[in-house]
């Protein structure tokens, strides 16, 4: 009987609360609009961080290449910015017309922040215009510093806009505990709603994620231009740009899991059933796919570096070691992708005695996963280190000792990771969770100290020859494409996980979704939706890249004395 009442209530609620979108339905329409808006938003927030850092290197390192790189990306930003705004408008119009009651609820709480949002958006746009169009006008002396400060201001506006939008979506996931279905939205204090459990973890996770995404898109752009390049000079430039993009993407990727871990922890703390749905329940398969995709990122990132060693004189000294790094990465990928609950038919289930494999099941738990990913991070860092040192020979008297200390740090970090990984099997869960902090701490400490030693050791180093930029086989460029596609796909996938754990709630346990689309979609359907969004986004980005090329062709003046560095 209660079910009948619930249905009648739902029908009554739905009549005024929702409208439907033709053919694909409201949920799919909102999904596509929100996801593509988010991807463009990540692009226009990540690339300015990239651009302002590149400009700073150009100014303070007196390297004009970085300045050209920053400007080239700011030009793409102009077009991407319009696309972000258009998709944002599509998203808002769809939300307000298809989900009017929910929209009214959100605006009742967040109305003021929405006004602030558009104001900042306005300032952000005009700062961007000043930043781009003033590039050649303010390129000397103090004016250049002022111009760089405009870039910083652009990032501040962008970050503020993101923080405000994050408060809306995190409120939907983790509304403050004192808010109930009976609480009038008008009585909820704005700051109280903004300062919810997952607001800051999402802010930080997205901030770092945007840097990764910006770097990956820069890499993809560079690879596209590299493959289309007609001259060796162009090829050399875009090869270098691809390297810088990849470097930034992978460097930021290394710290991204820690921010994600914080977010996951906050979700568990807020509501353990939400956490279990995400990590152990029906969303858990997304994490297996995620593990697989992150393994692809690590493998593709390292592959790009190893192929790149072919253009560095002196790199042949380190070639024998890369295959062992590959072994660690492949083993890490195998462990990381091993599901705890395996897909098996009845015969296999009977042979295993359940859905956990008696032996491989041990690789499906967090102790094994954390160990694998930390060793993969260490291996990737070692790849970077070898790449960095490939064409130099240290001349400081303590070079050998320094290298030994670095090696010892790697061994100690790997030892700590393995020790706590194995010990994690013999202690209770609450203790085991704490071990990941020691593992991460050991890896980060190794990265920091080894880098410091390396920088000191490289002082006055003897060069074994300049990097022959442009002398890269085309297959290396596809690794950069893979990175960009995988990052985009991952964003869509994990965005679905984050949003999907609300299940049939617009606002978790406060406002129920009573549309026919309230059921959490099956993984196959979700995968199709995510892939569609990725395809639409990448097609539009491809168009933007093409436009970028068009704009440059009109002003590009090839050098008459290009050095021969190509194939």
Partner 1 sequence: MRAYLRHPFWQAVGLFVLAYLVIVFVIPMLPGSAMVPSSVVLQYMATVLVGILIWVSDDEARWTTFKEPLHEVLIQPRLKLVRNGLLAAVTLVVGCLTYSQVKASVAAPPNLRSIHPAPPSQITFRGKTITLVGLENPLRKQGELAPHVAEGRRIYYQNCVPCHGDHLDGQGHFASGFNPLPANFQDNGTIAQLTESFVFWRIAKGGPGLPREGTPWNSAMPAWEDFLTEDEIWSVVLFLYDQTGWKPRTWEVTAK
Footprint of partner 1 (CB under 8 A): 269, 271-274, 276-277, 280-282, 284-285, 292, 295-296, 299, 302-303, 306-307, 310, 319, 322-323, 326-327, 329-330, 333-334, 337-362, 364-365, 425, 428-430, 473, 475, 503, 520, 523
Q: How far is the CB of 428 from partner 1 (least distance, A)?
A: 4
Q: How far is the CB of 240 from partner 1 (least distance, A)?
A: 19
Q: Which residues contact 435 (CB under 8 A, 6 or more apart)?
A: 367, 370, 420, 421, 423, 424, 427
Q: How far is the CB of 489 from partner 1 (least distance, A)?
A: 16
User: By C-beta, is 303 or 384 nearer to partner 1?
Assistant: 303
What tokens appear for 212 in the block?
Answer: 């990764």
| Residue 13: closest CA among 504, 348, 474 | 504
User: By C-beta, is 119 or 269 nearer to partner 1?
Assistant: 269
CA–CA dist 66, 54 (Å, integer):
5
Q: How far is the CB of 524 from partner 1 (least distance, A)?
A: 10
Q: How far is the CB of 431 from partner 1 (least distance, A)?
A: 9
Half-sphere exposure of 152 (CA within 13 A, CB side): 7
CA–CA dist 541, 545 (Å, integer):
6
Half-sphere exposure of 98 (CA within 13 A, CB side): 23
Q: How far is the CB of 429 from partner 1 (least distance, A)?
A: 4
DSSP 117-168: HHHHHHHHHHHHHHHHHTTTTS-SHHHHHHHHHHHHHHHHHHHHHHHHHHHH
Q: How far is the CB of 360 from partner 1 (least distance, A)?
A: 7
User: By C-beta, is 280 or 558 nearer to partner 1?
Assistant: 280
Q: How far is the CB of 422 from partner 1 (least distance, A)?
A: 14
What tokens appear for 124 in the block?
Answer: 């952000």
Q: Quick check: helix, strand or coil at residue 229?
A: coil
User: By C-beta, is 460 or 524 nearer to partner 1?
Assistant: 524
CA–CA dist 406, 451 (Å, integer):
9
User: By C-beta, is 365 or 458 nearer to partner 1?
Assistant: 365
User: By C-beta, is 123 or 505 nearer to partner 1?
Assistant: 505
CA–CA dist 559, 557 (Å, integer):
6
Please state, as a whole number, how many other Cβ atoms lie within 10 Å of the Cβ of residue 458: 16
User: By C-beta, is 114 or 307 nearer to partner 1?
Assistant: 307
| Residue 214: closest CA among 168, 246, 182, 260 | 246
Q: How far is the CB of 361 from partner 1 (least distance, A)?
A: 6
DSSP 323-376: HHHHHHHHHHHHHHH--SS----HHHHHHHTSSS-TTGGGGGSHHHHHHHHHHH
User: By C-beta, is 37 or 356 nearer to partner 1?
Assistant: 356
User: By C-beta, is 190 or 344 nearer to partner 1?
Assistant: 344
DSSP 523-562: HHHHHHHHHHHHHHHHHHHHHHHHHHHHHHHTT----TT-
User: By C-beta, is 80 or 295 nearer to partner 1?
Assistant: 295
Q: How far is the CB of 352 from partner 1 (least distance, A)?
A: 5
User: By C-beta, is 147 or 197 nearer to partner 1?
Assistant: 197
Helix, strand, coil percentages (3-state) for the chain, rounded to 5, are: 80, 0, 20
Q: Quick check: helix, strand or coil at residue 393?
A: strand
Q: How far is the CB of 235 from partner 1 (least distance, A)?
A: 16
- Residues 487, 25, 543, 75, CA torsion sign: negative
Half-sphere exposure of 473 (CA within 13 A, CB side): 10
């Amino acid at each position: 009987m209660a079910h009948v009442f619930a249905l009648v209530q739902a029908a009554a609620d739905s009549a005024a609360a929702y409208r439907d979108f033709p053919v694909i339905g409201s949920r799919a329409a909102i999904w596509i609009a929100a996801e593509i808006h988010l991807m463009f938003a990540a692009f226009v927030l990540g690339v300015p961080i990239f651009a302002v850092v590149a400009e700073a290197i150009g100014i303070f390192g007196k390297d004009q290449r970085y300045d050209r790189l920053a400007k080239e990306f700011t030009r793409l930003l102009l077009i991407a910015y319009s696309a972000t705004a258009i998709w944002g408008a599509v998203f808002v119009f769809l939300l307000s017309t298809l989900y009017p009651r929910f929209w009214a609820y959100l605006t009742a709480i967040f109305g003021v922040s929405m006004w602030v949002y558009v104001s900042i958006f306005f300032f952000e746009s005009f700062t961007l215009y000043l930043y781009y169009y003033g590039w050649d006008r303010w390129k000397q002396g103090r004016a250049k510093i002022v111009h760089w400060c405009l870039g910083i201001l652009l990032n501040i506006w962008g970050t503020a806009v993101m923080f405000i939008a994050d408060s809306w979506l995190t409120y939907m996931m983790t509304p403050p505990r004192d808010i109930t279905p009976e609480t009038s939205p008008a009585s909820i204090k704005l700051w109280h709603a903004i300062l919810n459990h997952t607001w800051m973890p999402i802010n930080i996770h997205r901030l770092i994620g945007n840097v990764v995404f910006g770097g990956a898109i820069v890499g993809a752009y560079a690879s596209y231009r590299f493959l289309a390049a007609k001259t060796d000079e162009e090829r050399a430039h875009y090869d270098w740009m691809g390297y810088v993009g990849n470097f930034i993407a992978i460097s930021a990727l290394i710290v991204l899991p820690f921010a994600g871990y914080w977010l996951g922890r906050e979700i568990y703390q807020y509501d353990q059933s939400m956490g279990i749905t995400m990590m152990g329940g029906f969303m858990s398969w997304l994490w297996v796919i995620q593990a697989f995709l992150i393994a692809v990122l690590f493998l593709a990132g390292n592959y790009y570096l190893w192929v790149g060693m072919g253009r560095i004189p002196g790199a042949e000294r380190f070639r024998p070691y890369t295959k062992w790094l590959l072994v660690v990465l492949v083993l890490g990928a195998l462990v990381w992708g091993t599901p705890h609950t395996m897909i098996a038919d009845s015969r296999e289930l009977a042979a295993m005695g359940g859905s956990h494999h008696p032996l491989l099941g041990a690789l499906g738990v967090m102790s094994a996963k954390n160990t694998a990913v930390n060793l993969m991070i260490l291996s990737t860092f070692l790849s970077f280190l070898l790449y960095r040192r490939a064409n130099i020979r240290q001349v400081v008297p303590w070079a050998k000792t320094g290298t030994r200390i670095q090696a010892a740090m790697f061994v100690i970090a790997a030892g700590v990771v393995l020790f706590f990984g194995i010990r994690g099997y013999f202690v209770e869960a609450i203790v085991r969770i704490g071990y990941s902090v020691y593992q991460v701490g050991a890896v980060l400490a190794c990265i920091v100290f080894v880098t410091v030693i390396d920088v000191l050791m490289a002082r006055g180093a003897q060069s074994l020859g300049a990097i022959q930029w442009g002398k890269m086989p085309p297959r290396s460029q596809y690794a950069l494409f893979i990175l960009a596609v995988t990052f985009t796909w991952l964003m869509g996938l994990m965005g679905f996980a984050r949003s999907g754990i609300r299940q049939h709630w617009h606002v978790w346990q406060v406002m129920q979704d009573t549309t026919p689309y309230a059921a959490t979609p099956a993984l196959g359907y979700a995968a199709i939706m995510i892939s569609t969004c990725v395809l639409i986004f990448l097609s539009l980005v491809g168009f933007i890249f093409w436009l970028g090329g068009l704009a440059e062709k009109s002003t590009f003046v090839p050098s008459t004395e290009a050095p021969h560095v190509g194939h």
